[in-house]
Amino acid sequence: MCGIVGYIGKKDAENTLIEGLKRLEYRGYDSSGIALVQNKKMFSEKAIGKIINLEEKLSGKKFSGNVGICHTRWATHGKPTKENAHPHFSCDGDIAVVHNGIIENYQTLRDDLKKKGHKFLSETDSEVLPHLIEDFYKGDLREAVLKALKCVQGTYGIAVVSSKNPDEMIAARKGSPLVLGVGNGENFVASDVAAILGYTNQVVYLNDGEIARVASDDFQITDMDNQQIKCEINKIEWSLEESQKGGHEHFMLKEILEQPKVVVDSTRGRLLPDEGSVKLGGLEEVEEDLRKIEKIIIVACGTARYAGLVGEYMLEEYAEIPTEVEFASEFRYRKPIVDERTAIIAISQSGETADTLAAIREAKRKGALTLGIVNVVGSTIARETDAGVYNHAGPEIAVASTKAFTSQLTVLALITILLGRQRNMSLDTGKKIIEELEALPEKIEIILKNKVDIKKLSEKYSKYSDFMYLGRKYCFPLAEEGALKLKEISYIHSEGFPAGEMKHGSIALIDEDFPVVCVAPKDSVYEKNISNVEEIRARKGKIIILTTQGNKEAEKVADDIIYIPDALEMLTPILAVVPLQLFAYYVSSFRGLDVDKPRNLAKSVTVE
């Protein structure tokens, strides 16, 4: 997702804005730009590519300002060019706008504005905004922005400055996240708290349909009908240090290595071993509603959806509740059959995923109970669901999700225990799952200590162009997640399948140049997995087997082996995913690619 940072205060805004943009680089972008206001004059600069290119253009410039906005763009309408980069400006150059989201009726607006004499310089939908604001401007910038936004169909998170109104910045949100940072004699606007954490940990989350007038020492928020809104100032609990590399070469490696701590933090204060149950504070208000549910639908996208697929097995086997997992992007375009006895669980690391938000809004219209599993406190999904559970995984900066996935699996296990104990799960079973959960961090540490072996294996296979990942039952979603990690950061064609589906077409791809990773721990479907491995061997396919420590039988049928400690079958994915993440990470590194910021991808996808 594109990044927005705005500043108003006593300091020179440029350094603060650029530093904020750098903290949003992990989201992915292709261009950047800045606009500064001082003494009723506007200064701007744009650049293609990395933020360092913008810094080089700014180097030696004598203009400064105490109010400004900046942006990193991820191309939607129009190619990555300087003209298409933000900020965009009014015809007179006095109004600058940065925008995240999509203006659906931009062509109609653009045509109408052209008839009025407005000149457009870009191919973007966003450029209609400064021209619309200019069209309505009569001296009050907030009023002009409000009138302009009432003409807009679509989504937006915007920040606006004007050289005619140098003592204020306007921000508004509909469907694209925006947060106000509250400082001492200075205030901030950003699309992500990471951009402003070094300056303040006091924030106000804008809701859809809210517009803010921000000065250096004050701010006011109103709705689209100009009614004043009382807002809550939230304190961000994680620190700037947590969002930095801490001496590691990449954020992704740091986040993989943090996973033992993530499991501890995701379970901290939530386990009740003597009762064989859990305490989830975020669900306490709806516990009686949860007793009545007869069906669960999990909605998510990408990696979060694969976590949901593992959760489906957990919930059906241990809580005995029929569970479905839906592509959030397709949910509202079907006619989903939900009612007051249906619980919708939305999983999203950012809590801002547009498709997942749309799914829960559709479910709420139909009377379903909506629950969220999110990592970002105060995010839109966290606010709009009826109840939920936070991951407590800390900031995840690398675009490819690792520790958030692990925490999502952990939270799904906790929810399974809660719902299971409400129903038919025995005390002994609840105690056993909790005991196994408590043992996971140490077992993950064992895997991480062997990362050098996985690195060597990755180098061996880093030149291949195609991969297949296979697994069954709890580990079939891991096959899909392992394939996704590899394709995300190494650009290698990789596909994940339930192992039993391979012979229904995909086996045609197998040859000596098409390695297969089979996730086959010693579990209830191990023999079935090995049967599929034999089919691959018969076709000269190269085989990597990920299996349980001590399973020497697998060495007879595999070219290479990755071992993990033994664990309860439902929790095995939390262990098995770690070597798959490391394998993808090292393959990408050996190919010399940008591991943390893979091409064409964004960390938080807030457009459909």
Helix axes 128-136, 141-149, angle to 10 degrees: 120
Give me the helices (H) in 315-391, please: 328-331, 354-365, 380-384
Radius of gyration of the chain (CA): 25
Backbone phi and psi for residue 97, each to the nearest 5 degrees, phi listed first? -135, 135
Best CA proximity match to 102, nearest among 82, 80, 76: 76
Amino acid at 441: P
| 57 included as an active-site residue | no
Distance CA 566, CA 568 (A): 7
What one-character DSSP code corresponds to residue 443? H
Distance CA 566, CA 548 (A): 6
Whole-Å CA distances, 391 to 13, 90, 263, 314: 34, 43, 9, 18
Distance CA 146, CA 244 (A): 37
Out of 2, 70, 301, 518, pick the active-site residue: 2
Out of 22, 403, 451, 603, pick the active-site residue: 603
Distance CA 410, CA 416 (A): 10
The pairing of beta strand 219-223 with beta strand 342-348: unpaired
Task: Calculate the CA dihedral of residues 18, 20, 26, 29 and round it to 10 degrees.
Answer: -50
Best CA proximity match to 214, nearest among 6, 440, 523, 479: 6
Best CA proximity match to 97, nearest among 59, 64, 135, 63: 135
* CA pseudo-torsion sign 150, 154, 156, 160: negative
| 603 included as an active-site residue | yes
- Spatial CB neighbours of 155, under 8 Å, sequence gap ≥ 6: 101, 102, 174, 175, 176, 354, 606, 607
CB 324 within 8 A of CB 296: yes
Distance CA 459, CA 585 (A): 11
Q: How many other C-beta atoms are found inside a 10 Å radius of the C-beta of residue 91?
A: 17
Residues designated as active site: 2, 603
